[in-house]
Amino acid sequence: MLILGIETSCDETAAALVADGRVIRSNVIASQVEIHARYGGVVPEVASRQHLLQMIPVVERALSQGGAAWSDVDAIAVTYGPGLAGALMVGVNMAKAVALARGLPLFGINHLEGHVYAAWLEGRQPDVDPGFPLVVLVASGGHTDLLLMEEHCRYRLLGMTRDDAAGESFDKAARVLGLGFPGGPAIQRVSQGIKIEEVRQELPRAWLRGTLDFSFSGLKTALLHKAQEQGLADGGGASRPKEVAEMAAAFQESVVDVLTAKTLAAASDAGAKGIILGGGVTANARLRERLRAKAGGLPVFIPSPGLCVDNAAMVASCAFYHAGRRNADGLDLDVVPSLKLG
Ligand code: KG4
Ligand code: ZN
Protein backbone atom coordinates (compact mmCIF):
# COMPACT_ATOMS: atom_id res chain seq x y z
CA MET A 1 0.00 0.00 0.00
CA LEU A 2 1.56 3.29 -1.16
CA ILE A 3 0.54 6.34 0.89
CA LEU A 4 1.25 9.98 0.06
CA GLY A 5 1.79 11.91 3.29
CA ILE A 6 1.44 15.69 3.61
CA GLU A 7 2.67 17.79 6.55
CA THR A 8 2.28 21.57 7.00
CA SER A 9 1.62 21.99 10.74
CA CYS A 10 4.43 24.46 11.42
CA ASP A 11 7.33 25.69 9.28
CA GLU A 12 8.15 22.71 7.06
CA THR A 13 6.22 22.05 3.86
CA ALA A 14 6.61 18.30 3.45
CA ALA A 15 5.36 15.45 1.29
CA ALA A 16 6.49 11.83 1.21
CA LEU A 17 5.68 8.47 -0.30
CA VAL A 18 5.80 5.49 2.06
CA ALA A 19 5.13 1.85 1.14
CA ASP A 20 3.42 -0.41 3.68
CA GLY A 21 4.10 1.95 6.57
CA ARG A 22 7.82 1.15 6.63
CA VAL A 23 9.64 1.88 3.38
CA ILE A 24 10.38 5.48 2.44
CA ARG A 25 10.14 5.96 -1.32
CA SER A 26 10.59 9.73 -1.08
CA ASN A 27 10.72 12.29 1.71
CA VAL A 28 10.69 15.91 0.53
CA ILE A 29 10.95 18.81 2.99
CA ALA A 30 10.95 22.49 2.04
CA SER A 31 12.16 24.20 5.21
CA GLN A 32 11.25 27.79 5.98
CA VAL A 33 13.74 28.04 8.81
CA GLU A 34 15.89 30.72 7.20
CA ILE A 35 12.87 32.94 6.59
CA HIS A 36 11.65 32.70 10.20
CA ALA A 37 15.17 32.95 11.69
CA ARG A 38 15.14 36.67 10.79
CA TYR A 39 12.28 37.13 13.27
CA GLY A 40 13.71 34.81 15.95
CA GLY A 41 10.75 32.40 15.72
CA VAL A 42 7.97 31.13 13.47
CA VAL A 43 5.64 33.85 12.16
CA PRO A 44 2.30 32.10 11.51
CA GLU A 45 1.10 34.24 8.60
CA VAL A 46 4.46 33.99 6.84
CA ALA A 47 4.38 30.20 7.35
CA SER A 48 0.94 29.88 5.70
CA ARG A 49 2.03 31.89 2.67
CA GLN A 50 5.19 29.84 2.26
CA HIS A 51 3.18 26.62 2.46
CA LEU A 52 0.91 27.93 -0.31
CA LEU A 53 3.91 28.64 -2.52
CA GLN A 54 5.63 25.32 -1.80
CA MET A 55 2.76 22.81 -1.48
CA ILE A 56 2.25 21.78 -5.10
CA PRO A 57 5.95 21.68 -6.09
CA VAL A 58 6.75 19.64 -2.96
CA VAL A 59 4.03 17.07 -3.71
CA GLU A 60 5.17 16.85 -7.34
CA ARG A 61 8.75 16.27 -6.18
CA ALA A 62 7.65 13.57 -3.74
CA LEU A 63 5.96 11.72 -6.60
CA SER A 64 8.83 12.09 -9.06
CA GLN A 65 11.57 11.23 -6.53
CA GLY A 66 9.55 8.19 -5.47
CA GLY A 67 9.25 7.10 -9.12
CA ALA A 68 5.47 7.05 -8.80
CA ALA A 69 2.52 8.32 -10.83
CA TRP A 70 -0.79 9.35 -9.25
CA SER A 71 -2.21 6.01 -10.33
CA ASP A 72 0.29 4.24 -8.01
CA VAL A 73 -0.94 6.08 -4.90
CA ASP A 74 -3.44 4.16 -2.73
CA ALA A 75 -4.29 6.74 -0.06
CA ILE A 76 -3.60 10.30 1.12
CA ALA A 77 -2.53 11.11 4.69
CA VAL A 78 -2.39 14.62 6.10
CA THR A 79 -1.63 16.27 9.44
CA TYR A 80 -4.83 17.98 10.65
CA GLY A 81 -3.51 19.07 14.09
CA PRO A 82 -2.02 20.14 16.38
CA GLY A 83 -0.29 23.12 14.82
CA LEU A 84 -0.85 26.57 13.35
CA ALA A 85 -4.39 26.84 11.95
CA GLY A 86 -3.49 28.66 8.74
CA ALA A 87 -0.53 26.37 8.10
CA LEU A 88 -2.54 23.18 8.70
CA MET A 89 -5.26 24.42 6.35
CA VAL A 90 -2.92 24.47 3.37
CA GLY A 91 -2.00 20.81 3.78
CA VAL A 92 -5.53 19.66 4.60
CA ASN A 93 -7.01 21.47 1.58
CA MET A 94 -4.34 20.05 -0.71
CA ALA A 95 -5.03 16.54 0.61
CA LYS A 96 -8.79 16.92 0.21
CA ALA A 97 -8.44 18.23 -3.34
CA VAL A 98 -6.24 15.30 -4.34
CA ALA A 99 -8.47 12.75 -2.58
CA LEU A 100 -11.51 14.12 -4.41
CA ALA A 101 -9.83 14.41 -7.80
CA ARG A 102 -8.28 10.94 -7.67
CA GLY A 103 -11.03 9.19 -5.71
CA LEU A 104 -8.55 8.18 -2.98
CA PRO A 105 -9.21 7.49 0.72
CA LEU A 106 -8.15 10.35 2.99
CA PHE A 107 -6.68 9.91 6.50
CA GLY A 108 -6.36 12.88 8.85
CA ILE A 109 -3.36 12.24 11.13
CA ASN A 110 -2.45 13.68 14.53
CA HIS A 111 1.01 15.24 14.15
CA LEU A 112 2.11 13.88 17.55
CA GLU A 113 1.14 10.36 16.54
CA GLY A 114 3.13 10.93 13.36
CA HIS A 115 6.22 11.54 15.51
CA VAL A 116 5.58 8.16 17.20
CA TYR A 117 5.44 6.35 13.85
CA ALA A 118 8.76 7.79 12.67
CA ALA A 119 10.19 4.90 14.73
CA TRP A 120 8.60 2.40 12.36
CA LEU A 121 10.09 3.85 9.20
CA GLU A 122 12.44 2.11 6.86
CA GLY A 123 13.28 -0.72 9.21
CA ARG A 124 16.01 1.50 10.67
CA GLN A 125 15.75 -0.37 13.95
CA PRO A 126 16.66 -4.07 14.00
CA ASP A 127 13.50 -5.01 15.84
CA VAL A 128 10.88 -2.30 15.89
CA ASP A 129 8.24 -4.55 17.35
CA PRO A 130 9.03 -5.89 20.82
CA GLY A 131 5.27 -5.85 21.43
CA PHE A 132 3.14 -3.50 23.50
CA PRO A 133 2.90 -1.60 25.75
CA LEU A 134 5.57 0.91 24.80
CA VAL A 135 6.37 4.16 26.55
CA VAL A 136 6.64 7.10 24.16
CA LEU A 137 8.28 10.47 24.75
CA VAL A 138 7.20 13.09 22.20
CA ALA A 139 9.30 16.21 22.74
CA SER A 140 8.94 18.97 20.16
CA GLY A 141 8.61 22.72 19.86
CA GLY A 142 5.03 22.67 21.12
CA HIS A 143 4.73 19.47 23.19
CA THR A 144 6.41 17.36 25.83
CA ASP A 145 4.19 14.33 26.32
CA LEU A 146 4.82 10.95 27.93
CA LEU A 147 2.40 8.37 26.58
CA LEU A 148 1.66 4.71 27.05
CA MET A 149 1.14 3.13 23.63
CA GLU A 150 -1.10 0.20 24.49
CA GLU A 151 -1.28 -1.09 20.93
CA HIS A 152 -1.14 0.38 17.44
CA CYS A 153 -2.99 3.73 17.37
CA ARG A 154 -4.05 3.53 21.05
CA TYR A 155 -2.51 5.81 23.68
CA ARG A 156 -2.90 6.87 27.28
CA LEU A 157 -1.39 10.18 28.40
CA LEU A 158 0.93 9.65 31.39
CA GLY A 159 2.40 13.11 31.76
CA MET A 160 2.86 16.39 29.96
CA THR A 161 4.50 19.76 30.42
CA ARG A 162 2.71 22.17 32.72
CA ASP A 163 4.24 25.21 31.02
CA ASP A 164 6.85 25.44 28.22
CA ALA A 165 7.58 22.55 25.89
CA ALA A 166 11.14 21.20 25.93
CA GLY A 167 11.84 22.50 22.41
CA GLU A 168 10.39 25.88 23.26
CA SER A 169 12.74 26.08 26.25
CA PHE A 170 15.74 25.28 24.00
CA ASP A 171 14.60 28.03 21.61
CA LYS A 172 14.18 30.59 24.42
CA ALA A 173 17.51 29.69 26.06
CA ALA A 174 19.30 30.05 22.72
CA ARG A 175 17.72 33.47 22.22
CA VAL A 176 18.96 34.64 25.65
CA LEU A 177 22.47 33.41 24.83
CA GLY A 178 22.42 34.96 21.34
CA LEU A 179 22.71 31.60 19.60
CA GLY A 180 19.93 32.12 17.02
CA PHE A 181 16.91 30.10 15.90
CA PRO A 182 16.07 27.21 16.07
CA GLY A 183 17.65 26.91 19.49
CA GLY A 184 17.94 23.15 19.93
CA PRO A 185 20.49 22.49 17.19
CA ALA A 186 22.42 25.65 18.17
CA ILE A 187 22.66 24.63 21.83
CA GLN A 188 23.71 21.11 20.88
CA ARG A 189 26.38 22.48 18.52
CA VAL A 190 28.06 24.79 21.03
CA SER A 191 27.77 22.22 23.86
CA GLN A 192 29.61 19.58 21.89
CA GLY A 193 33.09 20.79 22.81
CA ILE A 194 32.27 21.08 26.51
CA LYS A 195 33.08 18.44 29.16
CA ILE A 196 29.98 18.62 31.32
CA GLU A 197 31.80 17.31 34.44
CA GLU A 198 34.03 20.39 34.32
CA VAL A 199 31.20 22.91 34.03
CA ARG A 200 30.54 24.77 37.27
CA GLN A 201 27.29 26.41 36.14
CA GLU A 202 24.42 24.75 38.03
CA LEU A 203 20.92 25.11 36.66
CA PRO A 204 17.81 23.70 38.38
CA ARG A 205 15.76 20.64 37.46
CA ALA A 206 12.00 20.62 38.11
CA TRP A 207 11.33 17.05 39.21
CA LEU A 208 7.60 17.46 40.14
CA ARG A 209 8.01 14.30 42.24
CA GLY A 210 5.22 11.79 42.23
CA THR A 211 4.07 12.80 38.74
CA LEU A 212 5.25 12.21 35.20
CA ASP A 213 4.64 15.86 34.34
CA PHE A 214 7.33 18.29 33.24
CA SER A 215 8.04 21.97 33.83
CA PHE A 216 10.69 23.95 31.98
CA SER A 217 9.79 27.58 32.64
CA GLY A 218 11.68 27.76 35.97
CA LEU A 219 14.81 26.51 34.23
CA LYS A 220 14.38 29.12 31.51
CA THR A 221 14.05 31.91 34.11
CA ALA A 222 17.06 30.63 36.08
CA LEU A 223 19.13 30.66 32.89
CA LEU A 224 17.98 34.19 32.06
CA HIS A 225 18.95 35.47 35.52
CA LYS A 226 22.35 33.76 35.48
CA ALA A 227 23.09 34.98 31.98
CA GLN A 228 22.16 38.55 33.00
CA GLU A 229 24.24 38.39 36.20
CA GLN A 230 27.26 37.15 34.25
CA GLY A 231 26.77 39.62 31.40
CA LEU A 232 26.11 36.88 28.84
CA ALA A 233 22.56 37.99 27.87
CA ASP A 234 21.54 40.66 25.33
CA GLY A 235 24.52 40.14 23.09
CA GLY A 236 27.04 40.23 25.96
CA GLY A 237 28.15 36.66 25.23
CA ALA A 238 29.31 37.41 21.68
CA SER A 239 32.92 37.90 22.79
CA ARG A 240 32.87 35.06 25.38
CA PRO A 241 31.99 31.93 23.42
CA LYS A 242 33.45 29.49 25.98
CA GLU A 243 31.25 30.83 28.79
CA VAL A 244 28.19 30.84 26.54
CA ALA A 245 28.93 27.25 25.54
CA GLU A 246 29.24 26.20 29.19
CA MET A 247 25.94 27.84 30.06
CA ALA A 248 24.31 26.18 27.03
CA ALA A 249 25.75 22.78 28.02
CA ALA A 250 24.47 23.17 31.60
CA PHE A 251 21.04 24.03 30.23
CA GLN A 252 21.02 21.04 27.88
CA GLU A 253 22.09 18.76 30.73
CA SER A 254 19.18 19.91 32.92
CA VAL A 255 16.61 19.21 30.19
CA VAL A 256 18.21 15.88 29.27
CA ASP A 257 18.38 14.75 32.94
CA VAL A 258 14.66 15.31 33.47
CA LEU A 259 13.52 13.87 30.13
CA THR A 260 15.68 10.77 30.66
CA ALA A 261 14.68 10.12 34.28
CA LYS A 262 10.95 10.60 33.70
CA THR A 263 10.88 8.47 30.57
CA LEU A 264 12.67 5.62 32.33
CA ALA A 265 10.42 5.95 35.39
CA ALA A 266 7.33 5.79 33.15
CA ALA A 267 8.66 2.69 31.39
CA SER A 268 9.40 0.97 34.69
CA ASP A 269 6.02 1.88 36.27
CA ALA A 270 4.12 0.64 33.22
CA GLY A 271 6.16 -2.51 32.68
CA ALA A 272 6.80 -1.28 29.13
CA LYS A 273 8.48 -3.58 26.61
CA GLY A 274 10.36 -0.69 25.05
CA ILE A 275 10.72 3.05 24.67
CA ILE A 276 10.08 5.19 21.62
CA LEU A 277 11.34 8.74 21.22
CA GLY A 278 9.97 11.23 18.71
CA GLY A 279 9.83 14.95 17.97
CA GLY A 280 12.51 17.53 17.20
CA VAL A 281 14.09 17.54 20.67
CA THR A 282 14.78 13.80 20.40
CA ALA A 283 17.23 14.62 17.61
CA ASN A 284 19.42 15.85 20.49
CA ALA A 285 22.61 13.79 20.59
CA ARG A 286 23.08 14.07 24.37
CA LEU A 287 19.50 12.92 25.06
CA ARG A 288 19.86 9.97 22.68
CA GLU A 289 23.17 8.93 24.23
CA ARG A 290 21.96 9.27 27.84
CA LEU A 291 18.71 7.39 27.30
CA ARG A 292 20.42 4.54 25.51
CA ALA A 293 23.08 4.31 28.22
CA LYS A 294 20.57 4.25 31.07
CA ALA A 295 17.86 2.02 29.61
CA GLY A 296 19.52 -1.22 30.74
CA GLY A 297 18.21 -4.05 28.63
CA LEU A 298 15.08 -2.19 27.54
CA PRO A 299 14.93 -1.59 23.75
CA VAL A 300 14.99 2.12 22.88
CA PHE A 301 13.81 3.11 19.41
CA ILE A 302 14.93 6.52 18.23
CA PRO A 303 14.45 7.58 14.62
CA SER A 304 17.48 9.01 12.86
CA PRO A 305 17.73 12.76 13.60
CA GLY A 306 16.29 13.72 10.21
CA LEU A 307 13.13 11.75 10.99
CA CYS A 308 12.78 13.15 14.53
CA VAL A 309 12.09 16.63 13.17
CA ASP A 310 8.95 17.39 11.18
CA ASN A 311 8.50 15.36 7.99
CA ALA A 312 5.70 13.79 5.99
CA ALA A 313 7.04 10.22 5.90
CA MET A 314 5.98 9.79 9.54
CA VAL A 315 2.48 10.96 8.63
CA ALA A 316 2.22 8.45 5.79
CA SER A 317 3.56 5.65 8.00
CA CYS A 318 1.01 6.42 10.72
CA ALA A 319 -1.85 6.38 8.20
CA PHE A 320 -0.90 2.85 7.11
CA TYR A 321 -1.58 1.61 10.66
CA HIS A 322 -4.85 3.58 10.79
CA ALA A 323 -5.98 2.24 7.43
CA GLY A 324 -6.39 -1.30 8.74
CA ARG A 325 -8.20 -0.13 11.88
CA ARG A 326 -10.70 2.56 11.00
CA ASN A 327 -12.64 4.12 8.15
CA ALA A 328 -11.14 6.87 6.05
CA ASP A 329 -12.13 10.47 6.80
CA GLY A 330 -14.66 12.40 4.75
CA LEU A 331 -14.09 15.57 2.80
CA ASP A 332 -15.45 17.45 5.82
CA LEU A 333 -12.11 16.81 7.59
CA ASP A 334 -11.15 20.08 9.27
CA VAL A 335 -8.03 21.33 11.01
CA VAL A 336 -7.86 21.01 14.83
CA PRO A 337 -5.03 23.32 15.98
CA SER A 338 -5.17 22.14 19.62
CA LEU A 339 -5.60 18.41 18.90
CA LYS A 340 -4.39 16.14 21.75
CA LEU A 341 -3.08 12.58 21.81
CA GLY A 342 -4.13 10.07 24.48
O1 KG4 B 1 9.11 18.26 16.02
P2 KG4 B 1 9.64 19.55 15.54
O3 KG4 B 1 10.51 19.57 14.31
O4 KG4 B 1 8.49 20.59 15.29
C5 KG4 B 1 7.38 20.66 16.15
O6 KG4 B 1 6.47 19.82 16.01
O7 KG4 B 1 7.44 21.54 17.05
O8 KG4 B 1 10.45 20.19 16.78
C9 KG4 B 1 11.06 21.45 16.70
C10 KG4 B 1 11.77 21.70 18.01
C11 KG4 B 1 12.41 23.10 18.10
O12 KG4 B 1 12.05 23.68 19.34
C13 KG4 B 1 13.91 22.81 18.03
O14 KG4 B 1 14.69 23.76 18.75
C15 KG4 B 1 13.98 21.44 18.67
O16 KG4 B 1 12.83 20.77 18.20
N17 KG4 B 1 15.17 20.70 18.22
C18 KG4 B 1 16.15 20.31 19.07
C19 KG4 B 1 17.16 19.71 18.27
N20 KG4 B 1 16.75 19.76 16.97
C21 KG4 B 1 15.53 20.36 16.97
N22 KG4 B 1 16.26 20.41 20.41
C23 KG4 B 1 17.39 19.92 20.99
N24 KG4 B 1 18.40 19.36 20.29
C25 KG4 B 1 18.34 19.23 18.94
N26 KG4 B 1 19.34 18.67 18.27
ZN1 ZN C 1 6.68 18.06 15.18
- Rounded to the nearest angstrom, the distance between the alpha carbon of 78 and the centre of ligand 2 is 13
| Helix/strand/coil (H/E/C) assignment for every residue in the chain | CEEEEEECCCCEEEEEEEECCCEEEEEEEEECHHHHHCCCCCCHHHHHHHHHHHHHHHHHHHHHHCCCCHHHCCEEEEEEECCCHHHHHHHHHHHHHHHHHHCCCEEEEEHHHHHHHHHHHHHCCCCCCCCCCEEEEEECCCCEEEEEEEECCEEEEEEEECCCCHHHHHHHHHHHCCCCCCHHHHHHHHHCCCCHHHCCCCCCCCCCCCCCCECCHHHHHHHHHHHHHCCCCCCHHHHCHHHHHHHHHHHHHHHHHHHHHHHHHHHHHHCCCCEEEECHHHHCHHHHHHHHHHCCCCCEECCCHHHHCCCCHHHHHHHHHHHCCCCCECCCCCCCCCCCCC
- Rounded to the nearest angstrom, the distance between the alpha carbon of 139 and the centre of ligand 1 is 8
Q: How far apart, in Å, do the first and last CA atoms of the chain sit? A: 27
The reply to whether 250 and 318 lie within a common domain is no
- Determine, yes or no, domain membership for 328: no
The predicted-structure confidence for 129-165, as pLDDT tens digits, reads as follows 789 999 999 999 999 999 999 999 999 999 999 999 9
Give, using CA atoms, the residue closest to atom 8 of ligand 1: 280
Percent share of the chain, pLDDT over 70: 98
The reply to whether 151 and 103 lie within a common domain is no
The reply to whether 77 and 184 lie within a common domain is no
- Determine, yes or no, domain membership for 170: yes
- Determine, yes or no, domain membership for 137: yes
The predicted-structure confidence for 184-203, as pLDDT tens digits, reads as follows 999 999 999 999 999 999 99
The reply to whether 27 and 110 lie within a common domain is yes
- Residue 170 CB–ligand 1 contact under 6 Å: yes
The reply to whether 95 and 142 lie within a common domain is no
**Would you state the pLDDT for residue 127?**
57
Which CATH number belongs to the domain containing residue 98 in this structure? Answer: 3.30.420.40
Average pLDDT, integer, range 113-121? 96
- Residue 10 CB–ligand 1 contact under 6 Å: yes
- Residue 114 CB–ligand 1 contact under 6 Å: no
The reply to whether 192 and 242 lie within a common domain is yes
The reply to whether 203 and 111 lie within a common domain is no
Reported confidence tier of residue 125, pLDDT bands at 50, 70, 90 = low
- Determine, yes or no, domain membership for 277: yes
- Determine, yes or no, domain membership for 160: yes
- Determine, yes or no, domain membership for 256: yes
The predicted-structure confidence for 257-311, as pLDDT tens digits, reads as follows 999 999 999 999 999 999 999 999 999 999 999 999 999 999 999 999 999 999 9
Q: Which atom of ligand 1 is nearest to the CA of 252?
A: 23
- Rounded to the nearest angstrom, the distance between the alpha carbon of 66 and the centre of ligand 2 is 23
The reply to whether 191 and 109 lie within a common domain is no
- Determine, yes or no, domain membership for 259: yes
The reply to whether 111 and 158 lie within a common domain is no
Considering its fold, how many domains does the chain have in total? 2
In this predicted structure, the answer to whether residue 122 has a pLDDT above a threshold of 90 is: no
**Would you state the pLDDT for residue 130?**
85
The reply to whether 154 and 222 lie within a common domain is yes
Out of 109, 137, 284, 309, mutate this one to test ligand 1's pocket (max ligand atoms within 8 Å of CB): namely 309
The reply to whether 100 and 246 lie within a common domain is no
Per the CB < 8 A criterion, the answer to whether 82 and 9 are in contact is yes
- In terms of residue numbers, what domain contains 316? 2-119+309-323
Q: What is the mean pLDDT of the chain?
A: 96
The reply to whether 62 and 196 lie within a common domain is no
- Determine, yes or no, domain membership for 16: yes
**Would you state the pLDDT for residue 71?**
98
Average pLDDT, integer, range 235-250? 97
